[in-house]
């Protein structure tokens, strides 16, 4: 079977261009070993006039310039992992709404206008752009004063963003996780680790509970290859902070690429849809 792999946009991969590229390349290599005809493409040159899309596409891209084209091909029967709509649902405002509708426990989030004064229950507070995740300075800012909050909102407004998301600063140990599996299924593969560059408090963490929380979030968005962040709190609780489509899997690249390729081979070969 022919299939394409689509790289993430460079603007959406600050400081992780190599890691993001390598996981896609290794996944493609494993698929070729399974008999697939793989072509890796930049989202900037996804197709040329007269070129028909392949039966299947695996993608890391997430920009609104390319997702509509992929969605149009999906409507014609092209199988995608992750689905374009699922990738779009990782945009922060959409993700918050999806989690709320599905009853997924998520960090308290307040959507506010960037144009005027904002009242918050307490400071410090994280100020985040309402769509994609952290792509440049100013996208995600910890504001510990009213002046800093106003400056962060003004910065987003100056870049054309009418809204922002405010989230409290939750104390605890920051955890990163990766998962692979069909929406609504238990993950076929799951790993977690503590973020570096933090002073760990050593709070208790239930790995099985984290896996269930991550899987519930992925199911709510329709993700099949995903990663995210959570906080392990002093009382042994978990707070989901973010969920992303197809991360770099940097610490587990060799292992993850083989698992992802096996999952794709099954999904593409059987034409299975979530």
**For 194-226, what is each residue's pLDDT tens digit?**
988 889 999 999 999 999 999 999 999 999 999
Residues 6+ apart with CB under 8 A from 75: none
Instruction: Report, at the CATH architecture level, how domain 92-106+170-245 is classified.
Output: 2-Layer Sandwich (3.30)
Q: Domain spanning 110-168: which CATH class is it, in words?
A: alpha beta
Distance CA 10, CA 25 (A): 15
Nearest to 80 by CA among 250, 251, 245: 245
Q: Is 274 exposed, middle or buried (0-12, 13-18, 19+ CB in 10 A)?
A: middle
pLDDT digits (tens, 9 = 90+) for 128-169: 999 998 788 889 999 999 999 999 999 999 999 999 999 999
In the chain, % of residues over pLDDT 70: 97
Taking CA atoms, 118 is separated from 39, 146, 158, 241, in Å, by 48, 9, 17, 22
CB distance 113 to 43 below 8 Å:
no
Amino acid 59: pLDDT: 98
Cis preceding-peptide flag for 22 (omega within 30 of 0): no
Stated length of the chain: 274
CB distance 271 to 179 below 8 Å:
no
pLDDT digits (tens, 9 = 90+) for 13-53: 777 788 899 999 999 999 999 999 999 999 998 877 778 99
In this prediction the pTM is 0.94
Return the residue matching tokens 């083989």: 258
Amino acid 270: pLDDT: 52
End-to-end CA distance of the chain: 20
CB distance 165 to 96 below 8 Å:
yes
Question: What mean pLDDT, rounded, does the chain reach?
Answer: 93
Amino acid 271: pLDDT: 44
**Residues 11-23: b if buried by 16+ CB within 10 A, e if exposed:** ebbeeeeeebbbb
The CATH T-level fold of domain 2-82+254-270 is Rossmann fold (3.40.50)
Enumerate the domain spans of the chain: 2-82+254-270, 92-106+170-245, 110-168
pLDDT digits (tens, 9 = 90+) for 49-66: 778 999 999 999 999 999
Q: Is the pLDDT of residue 272 over 70?
A: no
In the chain, % of residues over pLDDT 90: 82
């Amino acid at each position: 079977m022919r299939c394409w792999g689509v790289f993430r946009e460079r603007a959406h991969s600050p400081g992780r261009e190599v890691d993001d590229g390598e996981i896609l390349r290794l996944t493609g290599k494993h698929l070729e070993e399974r008999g697939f005809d793989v072509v890796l493409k930049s989202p900037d040159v996804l197709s040329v006039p007269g070129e028909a899309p392949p039966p299947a596409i695996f993608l890391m891209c997430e920009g609104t310039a390319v997702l509509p084209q992929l969605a149009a091909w999906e409507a014609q029967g092209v199988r995608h992992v992750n689905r374009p709509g699922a990738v779009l649902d990782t945009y922060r405002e959409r993700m918050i709404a999806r989690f709320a509708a599905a009853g997924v426990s998520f960090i308290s989030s307040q959507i506010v206008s960037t144009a005027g004064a904002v009242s918050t229950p307490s400071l410090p507070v994280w100020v985040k752009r309402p769509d994609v995740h952290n792509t440049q300075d100013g996208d995600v800012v910890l504001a510990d004063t009213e002046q800093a909050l106003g400056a962060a909102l003004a910065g987003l407004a100056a870049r054309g963003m009418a809204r922002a998301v405010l989230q409290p600063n939750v104390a605890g140990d920051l955890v990163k996780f990766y998962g692979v599996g069909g929406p609504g299924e238990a993950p076929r593969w799951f790993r977690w680790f503590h973020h570096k560059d933090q002073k760990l408090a050593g709070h208790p963490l239930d790995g099985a509970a984290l896996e269930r929380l991550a899987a519930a979030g992925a199911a709510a968005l329709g993700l099949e290859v995903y990663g995210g962040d959570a906080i392990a709190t002093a009382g042994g609780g978990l707070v989901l902070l973010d969920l992303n489509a197809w991360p770099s899997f940097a610490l587990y690249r060799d292992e993850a690429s083989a698992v992802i390729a096996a999952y794709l081979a099954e999904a593409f070969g059987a034409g299975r849809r979530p």
